A and B are shown apart, each in its own frame.
Chain A
Amino acid sequence: MGRLRVKGKAGAAKNYTTRSSAVKKLQCSLADFRRLCILKGIFPREPRSRKKANKGSSAPTSFYYTKDIAYLAHEPILKKLREHKAFAKKLSRALGRGEWAGAKSLEENKPIYRLDHIVKERYPTFIDALRDIDDALCMVFLFASLPTSSRLPSELVENCAKLAAEWQLYVMHTRALRKVFFSIKGVYYQAEVMDQTVTWLVPYQFTQNVPSDVDVRVMLTFLELYQTLLSFVFFKLYTDVGLVYPPPLDIKKQDDGAGVNAFTLQDSSRPPMIQSIAPVTVDGRQITGKLVRQTIKNIAATLESDPESADVDMVNPEPSTDETNEEFVPRPSNSDKTINSDLPTLHSLSTLPRSLSTSLFSPYTFFLSRETSRGVFEFLVRSFGGLIGWPASSGSGSPFDESDPSITHVIIDRPVIQREETSEQRELRLRRKYIQPQWIADCINAGRILLEEPYTQGKTLPPHLSPFGEYEGAYIPSEEAVDNGSVSNIEEEDEDVDAEEESANEALNTAIVAASSDPAALRAAELAAEAAGVDFGDFEAKIKQVSKKQTKMPKTTEKEVESAEKDMNKMMMSNKQRKLYEKMKHSNKKKESERIELESRKKELGKQKRKQERV
Chain B
Amino acid sequence: MPGKDVGRKSTKRKQIEEEERAQTEELPADGGLEMLSDEEDGDAASDDGHVDEFPEFVNESSSEESDYEEDEEEEEEEEEDSSEAGEDSDAGSDDSLHVFPKAKTIISDITQQPKIVYPEIEPDYDSDSSTEDTPNRVGDVPMHWYDDLPHIGYDINGRKVLRPARGDELDKFLATVDDSSAWTSAFDKKAQAEKPLTAEELDLIQRLYTNENPDAGYDPYEPTTEWFTGKGKEEIMPLSGALQPKRRWVPSKWEKQKVMKIVRAIRQGRIVPSKPKTAASKFEAYAIWSEPSSSNPPPLPAPKPALPTNAESYNPPEEYLPTEEERKEWEALDPEDRERNYLPQKYSSLRLVPAYDRFIKERFFRQLDLYLAPRVQRVKLNIDPDSLIPKLPSPNSLRPFPNYKSLQFQHEKGRARCLSVSPDGEWVVSGDEDGVVSLWEIIVGREVKRWKFGGKIGALAWCPRTDVSFFAVGIEDTIYFVIPPNIDPAVLSNTQTALAPATLPPTPATPSPVKWETPASSAWSIDTPLLTINLIPSSGLPTHFCWHRKGDYLASVSTGGLQSNVWIHQLTRRHSQSPFKKIKGAVQSVLFHPLKPHFFVATQQYVRIYNLAEQKLIKTLIPGIKWISSMDVHPSGDHLIVGGYDRKLCWFDLELSEKPYKVLRYHSRAIRSLQFHPAYPLFASSSDDGSIQIFHSRVYNDLMTDPLIVPLKILRGHHVVDGLGVLQVKWCSKQPWLVSSGADGSLAVWCS
Chain A positions within 8 Å of B, measured between CB atoms, are: 34, 37-38, 41-46, 62-63, 105, 107-110, 112, 114, 116, 119-126, 128-129, 131-132, 134-135, 138-139, 142, 181-186, 188, 199, 203-204, 206-211, 213-215, 218-219, 222, 228, 231-232, 234-236, 239, 245-246, 371-372, 413-414, 436-438, 460-461, 463-466, 468-470, 474, 477, 481, 564-566, 568-573, 577, 580-581, 584-585, 588, 598-599, 601-602, 605
> Smallest CB–CB gap between B364 and chain A, Å?
5
Which residues of the other chain, B, contact A206 by a CB distance below 8 angstroms?
354-355
Contact between chains at A211 and B360 (CB < 8 Å): yes
Chain B positions within 8 Å of A, measured between CB atoms, are: 274, 276-279, 281, 283, 285-289, 293-294, 296-299, 301-302, 304-305, 307-310, 312-320, 342, 344-345, 347-351, 353-356, 359-364, 366-368, 370-376, 381, 383, 385-386, 388-392, 394-395, 664-666, 709-714
Kindly state the separation between the CA atoms of A134 and B665 in the bound complex, as whole angstroms: 51
Contact between chains at A602 and B371 (CB < 8 Å): no
Contact between chains at A44 and B345 (CB < 8 Å): no
Contact between chains at A477 and B289 (CB < 8 Å): no
**Residue in chain B with minimal CB distance to A415:** B349
> Smallest CB–CB gap between A613 and chain B, Å?
15
The list of the 3 closest CB pairs from A to B, nearest first, reads A108-B276, A206-B355, A124-B293
Contact between chains at A184 and B278 (CB < 8 Å): no
Contact between chains at A598 and B375 (CB < 8 Å): no
**Which of the listed residues A107, A183, A207, A588 has the most CB atoms from chain B within 10 Å of its own CB?**
A183
In the assembled complex, 28 residue pairs joining A and B whose CB atoms fall closer than 8 Å, in A order, are A43-B372, A46-B374, A46-B376, A112-B281, A122-B299, A123-B298, A126-B289, A132-B302, A142-B360, A182-B313, A184-B345, A185-B362, A186-B356, A199-B304, A207-B355, A218-B367, A436-B349, A437-B350, A465-B316, A465-B317, A477-B320, A565-B394, A568-B712, A569-B392, A569-B711, A572-B711, A601-B319, A605-B318
Which residues of the other chain, B, contact A41 by a CB distance below 8 angstroms?
299, 302, 371
Contact between chains at B288 and A120 (CB < 8 Å): yes
Which residues of the other chain, A, contact B372 by a CB distance below 8 angstroms?
43-44, 62
Contact between chains at B277 and A108 (CB < 8 Å): yes
Kindly state the separation between the CA atoms of A247 and B304 in the bound complex, as whole angstroms: 30
Known: A108-B278, A581-B385. 5 other contacts (CB 8 A): A42-B371, A43-B374, A46-B376, A184-B356, A602-B319
Given contact pairs A124-B296, A183-B312, A138 touches B288 in the complex (Cβ within 8 A): no
Contact between chains at B364 and A215 (CB < 8 Å): yes
Contact between chains at A139 and B363 (CB < 8 Å): yes
> Smallest CB–CB gap between A471 and chain B, Å?
9
Query: Which of B298, B309, B360, B381 sits near A125, CB closer than 8 Å?
Result: B298
Kindly state the separation between the CA atoms of A213 and B298 in the bound complex, as whole angstroms: 34
Contact between chains at B664 and A44 (CB < 8 Å): no
Contact between chains at A114 and B355 (CB < 8 Å): no
Kindly state the separation between the CA atoms of A185 and B307 in the bound complex, as whole angstroms: 12
Contact between chains at A569 and B289 (CB < 8 Å): no
Kindly state the separation between the CA atoms of A438 and B349 in the bound complex, as whole angstroms: 8
Contact between chains at A185 and B356 (CB < 8 Å): yes
Contact between chains at A219 and B285 (CB < 8 Å): no
Which residues of the other chain, B, contact A234 by a CB distance below 8 angstroms?
285
Which residues of the other chain, A, contact B710 by a CB distance below 8 angstroms?
572
Contact between chains at A460 and B348 (CB < 8 Å): yes
Contact between chains at B388 and A183 (CB < 8 Å): no
Contact between chains at A239 and B287 (CB < 8 Å): yes
> Smallest CB–CB gap between B276 and chain A, Å?
3
Contact between chains at B281 and A114 (CB < 8 Å): yes
Contact between chains at A464 and B711 (CB < 8 Å): no
Given contact pairs A112-B281, A584-B381, A414 touches B351 in the complex (Cβ within 8 A): yes
> Smallest CB–CB gap between A68 and chain B, Å?
10
**Residue in chain B with minimal CB distance to A223:** B367
| Main SS class of interface, B | loop
Which residues of the other chain, A, contact B286 by a CB distance below 8 angstroms?
232, 235
Given contact pairs A43-B374, A126-B289, A468-B308, A186 touches B359 in the complex (Cβ within 8 A): yes
> Smallest CB–CB gap between A159 and chain B, Å?
9
Given contact pairs A199-B307, A211-B361, A413-B350, A231 touches B285 in the complex (Cβ within 8 A): yes
Kindly state the separation between the CA atoms of A45 and B374 in the bound complex, as whole angstroms: 5
Kindly state the separation between the CA atoms of A184 and B278 in the bound complex, as whole angstroms: 43
Which residues of the other chain, B, contact A461 by a CB distance below 8 angstroms?
315, 348-349
Which residues of the other chain, B, contact A436 by a CB distance below 8 angstroms?
349-350
> Smallest CB–CB gap between B326 and chain A, Å?
10
Kindly state the separation between the CA atoms of A584 and B386 in the bound complex, as whole angstroms: 10
Contact between chains at B289 and A125 (CB < 8 Å): yes
Which residues of the other chain, A, contact B283 by a CB distance below 8 angstroms?
114, 228, 231
Kindly state the separation between the CA atoms of A204 and B578 in the bound complex, as whole angstroms: 92
Kindly state the separation between the CA atoms of A232 and B290 in the bound complex, as whole angstroms: 11
Which residues of the other chain, B, contact A466 by a CB distance below 8 angstroms?
307-310, 312-313
Given contact pairs A112-B281, A565-B394, A185 touches B342 in the complex (Cβ within 8 A): yes
Given contact pairs A232-B288, A464-B313, A580-B388, A208 touches B359 in the complex (Cβ within 8 A): yes
Which residues of the other chain, B, contact A109 by a CB distance below 8 angstroms?
276-278
> Smallest CB–CB gap between A105 and chain B, Å?
8
> Smallest CB–CB gap between A237 and chain B, Å?
11
Given contact pairs A46-B374, A573-B390, A568 touches B714 in the complex (Cβ within 8 A): yes
**Residue in chain A with minimal CB distance to B299:** A41
Which residues of the other chain, A, contact B376 by a CB distance below 8 angstroms?
46
Contact between chains at B355 and A208 (CB < 8 Å): yes
> Smallest CB–CB gap between A133 and chain B, Å?
11
**Residue in chain A with minimal CB distance to B279:** A108
**Residue in chain A with minimal CB distance to B302:** A132
Given contact pairs A184-B345, A199-B307, A466-B307, A62 touches B355 in the complex (Cβ within 8 A): no
Given contact pairs A108-B277, A122-B298, A211-B361, A464 touches B315 in the complex (Cβ within 8 A): yes
**Residue in chain A with minimal CB distance to B712:** A568
Contact between chains at B278 and A110 (CB < 8 Å): yes
Which residues of the other chain, A, contact B293 by a CB distance below 8 angstroms?
120-121, 124-125
Kindly state the separation between the CA atoms of A565 and B389 in the bound complex, as whole angstroms: 10
Query: Which of A119, A470, A599 sits near B288, CB closer than 8 Å?
Result: A119
Contact between chains at B709 and A184 (CB < 8 Å): no
**Which of the listed residues B283, B310, B364 has the most CB atoms from chain A within 10 Å of its own CB?**
B310
Kindly state the separation between the CA atoms of A38 and B371 in the bound complex, as whole angstroms: 6
Which residues of the other chain, A, contact B664 by a CB distance below 8 angstroms?
571-572
Which residues of the other chain, A, contact B391 by a CB distance below 8 angstroms?
569
Query: Which of B299, B353, B360, B709 sits near A214, CB closer than 8 Å?
Result: B360
Contact between chains at B310 and A477 (CB < 8 Å): yes
Contact between chains at B308 and A572 (CB < 8 Å): no
**Residue in chain B with minimal CB distance to A580:** B388
Kindly state the separation between the CA atoms of A218 and B356 in the bound complex, as whole angstroms: 21
Query: Which of A228, A438, A465, A585 sits near B385, CB closer than 8 Å?
Result: A585
Kindly state the separation between the CA atoms of A62 and B293 in the bound complex, as whole angstroms: 31
> Smallest CB–CB gap between A101 and chain B, Å?
11
Which residues of the other chain, A, contact B320 by a CB distance below 8 angstroms?
477, 598
**Which of the listed residues B302, B316, B349, B376 has the most CB atoms from chain A within 10 Å of its own CB?**
B349
Given contact pairs A37-B371, A109-B276, A114-B283, A569 touches B389 in the complex (Cβ within 8 A): yes
Which residues of the other chain, B, contact A188 by a CB distance below 8 angstroms?
307-308
Given contact pairs A185-B359, A566-B386, A463 touches B316 in the complex (Cβ within 8 A): yes
**Residue in chain B with minimal CB distance to A575:** B665
Kindly state the separation between the CA atoms of A494 and B298 in the bound complex, as whole angstroms: 63
Contact between chains at A135 and B366 (CB < 8 Å): yes
Which residues of the other chain, A, contact B356 by a CB distance below 8 angstroms?
184-186, 203-204
Which residues of the other chain, A, contact B279 by a CB distance below 8 angstroms?
108
Which residues of the other chain, B, contact A183 by a CB distance below 8 angstroms?
308, 312-314
> Smallest CB–CB gap between A513 and chain B, Å?
21
**Residue in chain A with minimal CB distance to B396:** A561
Contact between chains at B299 and A182 (CB < 8 Å): no
Kindly state the separation between the CA atoms of A182 and B287 in the bound complex, as whole angstroms: 35
Contact between chains at A598 and B319 (CB < 8 Å): yes
Which residues of the other chain, B, contact A199 by a CB distance below 8 angstroms?
304, 307
> Smallest CB–CB gap between A511 and chain B, Å?
25
Kindly state the separation between the CA atoms of A572 and B661 in the bound complex, as whole angstroms: 12
> Smallest CB–CB gap between B314 and chain A, Å?
5
Which residues of the other chain, A, contact B312 by a CB distance below 8 angstroms?
181, 183-185, 466
